[in-house]
Every structure is written in structure tokens, then in C-alpha cells.
């Protein structure tokens, strides 16, 4: 078993304490290691207020951390193996795609036929 500062490094790491700064999530492990990951790895915590970040609890016997105010869970394994949280696709992403598509040059968009426009608006609508 590997040793850190004379203490055996556990194959089953456990978090004893965690804190969140403006830039990092820092976990103190039971075997003496201190690990940190960029705050940006958790988009929920990145967008949370300092009060929401401070409201946390350990999961299990230190296998992870839960932030109830932002519904975020981070495992010690995820921190050790470098697994950031990915922002899920949202309906808003589809709306952005449509907005970009609507700004394409006219030759790239499907245009209504003149016959249908004339029927809907009549001749007087054009001028």
C-alpha cells in the first residue's frame, strides 16, 4: 500500500472535510491527502452563491459531498480521477440553434412561395 507522510494511503479514500473557494473545491481526506479540483468542473457550484456553496454535507462515510441547495453531488473518486460535471443539454440550446438558423442568408432559408403569400395578403399588401 502506498504511503503519504508515513500514513498508508487508502485504496478506499474518504473525505473528512471539504471547502469551496472562489476557484476550487478542496477536500481533506482521512489518509492525510488534500485534493482539489477547479470550481468550473461543477457548473452548478460555479453558478451558486457563497451561502449555497457553504451548505453541504458528506455522503455516506465520506465517499462524496452533497450540496442540497443546488442539487449537486461530487464523489471523492470523481475528484481523484478528474471527472468534471457536464452541463446537460437544455431546451434553450434548441432555441439558440433556431435563432442562428433564422439569421442565415435568405438563400439558405426556405422561403414561402409567392403564390401563397399573394393569396394570404392579397395584391394590396405589396403595394
- In angstroms, rounded to a whole number, what is the distance separating the alpha carbons of residues 16 and 37? 16
- Res 37: pLDDT: 97
pLDDT > 60? residue 99: no
Note whether 45 and 1 are within 8 A (CB): no
CA-to-CA separations, 39 to 11, 45, 61, 115, in angstroms, rounded: 25, 7, 23, 57
- In angstroms, rounded to a whole number, what is the distance separating the alpha carbons of residues 93 and 49? 24
> Which stretch of 76-80, 85-89, 97-101, 119-123 has the lowest confidence by average pLDDT?
97-101
- Is 0.85 topped by the overall pTM? no
- Res 9: pLDDT: 57
Q: What is the pLDDT of residues 4-56, one digit of tens each?
A: 556 555 678 999 999 999 999 999 999 999 999 999 999 999 999 999 999 99
Amino acid at each position: 500500500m502506498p504511503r503519504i507522510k508515513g500514513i498508508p494511503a487508502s485504496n478506499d479514500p474518504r473525505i473528512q472535510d471539504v471547502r469551496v473557494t472562489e476557484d476550487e473545491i478542496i477536500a481533506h481526506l482521512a489518509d492525510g491527502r488534500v485534493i482539489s479540483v477547479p470550481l468550473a468542473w461543477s457548473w452548478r457550484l460555479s453558478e451558486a452563491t457563497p451561502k449555497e456553496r457553504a451548505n453541504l454535507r458528506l455522503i455516506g462515510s465520506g465517499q462524496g459531498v452533497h450540496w442540497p441547495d443546488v442539487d449537486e453531488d461530487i464523489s471523492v473518486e470523481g475528484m481523484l480521477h478528474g471527472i468534471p460535471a457536464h452541463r446537460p443539454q437544455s431546451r434553450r440550446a434548441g432555441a439558440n440553434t433556431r435563432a442562428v438558423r433564422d439569421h442565415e442568408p435568405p438563400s439558405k432559408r426556405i422561403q414561402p412561395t409567392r403564390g401563397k403569400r399573394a393569396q394570404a395578403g392579397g395584391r394590396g399588401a405589396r403595394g
